[in-house]
Structure 1
Amino acid sequence: MDQTLPAAATTTDLATEVAPLARRYKRANGPVIRLVNRLGGTLEHQLSALPQGVRNQLEKLTAQALEASYGIASRAPDIGTRAPMVAAVAAGAAGGAGGLATAVAELPVTVTLFLNTIRSVAREAGLDPDEDWVRAECLQVFAAGSPLAQDDGVNTSFIASRLALTGSTAQNLIRTIAPRLAAVMGQKLAAQAVPVIGAVSGAALNAAFLSYYREIARVRFELVKLGRIHGAEAVEAEFRIAVTPPRVIRA
């Protein structure tokens, strides 16, 4: 007997499965926005106060941090769910304690902590974070929207491309992702630029950012799993519909 579900039933099931992931995705940056509001002003404005030399080098520094963390990640042990948050808070506090100089030095440590957390989420989802395509998906989490904006032209291309990740393709991927992550890290550096006060801001922002990227990773890898059942294109299309605000039609 044919066990194939009718197309309408399959679509309904997919929409039902995608809807909570879309809601989770939309809520992910809420804690960051609330924290930014508590800190006062906008981090975008504070970013303009950074020395021009730092702003010019920020994308390069971020790409270098990504490359270093990408190389370290496969050798790093899984340290559980709580330890990364503790480490991220400590790193943010240490980075802000000495102002801009220590904040810049802290950058690769924080990026590595973020990437290791994303890899742990992949592992929890039943994926092997050492497989090339999963490593690529882990990097792509950094490109999936911004924790500093409610509407930032989010990247809804969540489904794995099974990329054959060579050294050169990994570098190309990092170069593509670096500008978006640099914008986030630059605004964090701006908040950390004032010694002592920056330690508090750095610790709080690191905690908020790590929570954001962990949530985005959970959504991403659940969508990957759904893609294996329903097909990647169908899941991606359904997710895009679910995260797109309804159009307001004026009379």
Structure 2
Amino acid sequence: MKRRSNSQKFPLHHRWKRKLIILLLVGLCLGTVALMETQYSRIKKLAISSPPFVQKPKIAFLFIARNRLPLDIVWDAFFQGDKENKFSIYVHSRPGFLLNKATTRSAYFLGRQVNNSIQVEWGEASMIQAERVLLQNALEDLHNERFVFLSDSCIPLYNFSYTYDYIMSTSTSFVDSFADTKEGRYNPKMHPVIPVENWRKGSQWVVLTRKHAEVVVKDDVVFPVFQWHCKASLSTCLLCDYFAIWKEYIPC
């Protein structure tokens, strides 16, 4: 009995169908590869033409508050003037206080309280320590280049752009101080660490460069003297003198 040939098993039109399907599959694969190559070239071109994002130097706004920030809505309008993420916010309030939707009207302040806050007493060295805590937290962000101390009653007088440009236009800190002629404020026991000729009075609301902020945080010379000899109950030196004293110790 004769065996059927392959040509008899598979009629001609079936073989053409199979070849056509194979050709279509090959064409589809080639088209997919070409499309992927085109998309890759387009993405690569966009990546080359678009410069990488570069974070501009930031100003750290350091608020010292008892609890709430009563003027948070004013600061909210101020911070809306920044479109390039050029600021950061840190708030020192009493231990356990949280800035949430129930305690602040501004989204900028949500969760911005520092977690290692301390109990502060007016006129005591604890106020200086609170400022050092703020600096420690703000220094963790390497993009923070200026550090501005503010109270809960401070408000901005100019818009964000003007304030940013003014503060960043100089490489020096802003520390106001003057000779203190009032008797009784200088404690002779502070000598020789703080000699009387270096005794100055000034405001605690200062603007520090990153270099000076690091010096203040690392200070283990001047701050202990204030802890030992400056007491509000004695009506002697107060925390506002601290940065004024440091102006005599650190180069601008």
Structure with the higher strand share, 1 or 2? 2
Relative contact order: is structure 1 or structure 2 higher (C-alpha 8 Å, sep ≥ 6)?
A: 1
TM category, shorter: under 0.3
TM-score (norm 1): 0.24
* Structure number with larger C-alpha Rg: 2
Structure with the higher helix share, 1 or 2? 1
